Amino acid sequence: MQTISLNTKDKISKIIIGEEFTNIKNYIDIDRTIVITDENVFKLYEKQFEGLKTIVIGTGEKIKTLQTIEYIIEKLIEFKADRKSFILGVGGGVVTDIAGFVSSIYLRGVEFGFVSTTLLGQVDASVGGKNGVNFKGLKNVIGVFNQPEFVICDISMLKTLPGREFRSGLAEMIKHGVIGDPSILEQLDEEYEKIISLDQETLEKLIYNSICVKSKIVSIDERESELRRILNFGHTVGHAIELAEDLTHGEAISIGMVAALGISVEKGYININVFIQIEKLLKKYGLPTDLPKDIGKIIEVIKFDKKNEKDGLNFILIKELGKAIIEKVDLDELEKLFTSVCKQQLLLGNVD
């Protein structure tokens, strides 16, 4: 078990990696706690919720709405939750984003904590204090910055996670390696067997290293005025293809990272071998890496998404492994860059 303290302006939030949900009583006062979880997690771990006042919500991105928040608030009132109540979100990123948000607005804010049960949740969504819901199809447009008291990353619960969801988390882990700590990439490469067989010790070390990258960045720039934006590496293209291509978030980010790495090669920042190394690693873990054929469509979506960034698009590029930069890229230049990346990929594919 390892602990990270995430220090921000008004809170020290503890992230405990390798602790288990079954020990939750050591962290909370059961009588004043109300748990929020989703149907899948509740069904799989029903026994562990015994004796806990629990609100069960639906699953998936579609339930990250104000309607779900209303439903939870009604239940909180039924449970007579007051200012001294504690809200515990048990689940993946959808549950923790919702639980963090509702805790921040119910009675102007009550204390809250998370048990994070997906790999993506553990290395990304549960860490950093961004909470919120979607609105009319727009992602995360309503929300707050607010840090939980604690986050427990229960590695044993990853055993029930579908493989595709596990790989989605690995993509964010690879992102952390590329932007902040190349040793994560080495470990992912060398310990493949242990990782896919969910070896507790190996995963604990990797999740720890991955969270360290994010928590260091968040402790410097909690509200994303500048530095925190590097965590969006791979996300500009990723978001543009996520819905259109019916991919998980991690799969879309995988392709987005390949695009951003390709542009970094085109701009002469990194050697083609770095591009090859990361693409190989993504493939090794079953993540997609081919840019969609219709580059024009991606550019259109990006243009629409980023319509407020008038004089060019803020793109996260890589100067060297472990070092990301934010650079303005001209929207008209983007199409040329993408086309070159596709050609590069084709050529490399032929060499293979």
Ligand X SMILES: NC(=O)c1ccc[n+]([C@@H]2O[C@H](COP(=O)([O-])OP(=O)(O)OC[C@H]3O[C@@H](n4cnc5c(N)ncnc54)[C@H](O)[C@@H]3O)[C@@H](O)[C@H]2O)c1
Binding site for ligand X (CB under 6 A): 38, 40-41, 44, 59-61, 64, 91-95, 97, 117-118, 120-121, 124-125, 128, 130, 140, 157, 160-161, 165, 168, 249
Supply φ then ψ for residue 88, to 5 degrees: -115, 115
Alpha-carbon 180 to chain mean position: 15
Q: Which is nearer to ligand X, 270 or 316 (CB)?
A: 316
Q: Is the Cβ–Cβ distance between 150 and 28 less than 8 Å? A: no
Q: Which is nearer to ligand X, 228 or 267 (CB)?
A: 228
Min separation Cβ 200 and ligand X, Å: 14
Greatest Cα pair distance, the chain, in angstroms, is 66
Q: Is the Cβ–Cβ distance between 192 and 149 less than 8 Å? A: no
Min separation Cβ 90 and ligand X, Å: 9
Q: Which is nearer to ligand X, 69 or 334 (CB)?
A: 69
Q: Which is nearer to ligand X, 119 or 341 (CB)?
A: 119
- Closest-CB residue for ligand X? 93
Residue 18 falls in which region: left (phi positive, over 0), alpha (psi -120 to 50) or beta: left
Min separation Cβ 157 and ligand X, Å: 4
Supply φ then ψ for residue 122, to 5 degrees: -65, -45
Min separation Cβ 215 and ligand X, Å: 12
Q: Which is nearer to ligand X, 164 or 319 (CB)?
A: 164
Q: Give CA–CA dist 303/33, Å, rounded.
A: 45
Q: Which is nearer to ligand X, 48 or 277 (CB)?
A: 48
The Cα angle at residue 153 between residues 148 and 157, in degrees rounded to 5 = 135
Alpha-carbon 194 to chain mean position: 22
Q: Is the Cβ–Cβ distance between 26 and 47 less than 8 Å? A: no
Min separation Cβ 323 and ligand X, Å: 22
Min separation Cβ 124 and ligand X, Å: 4
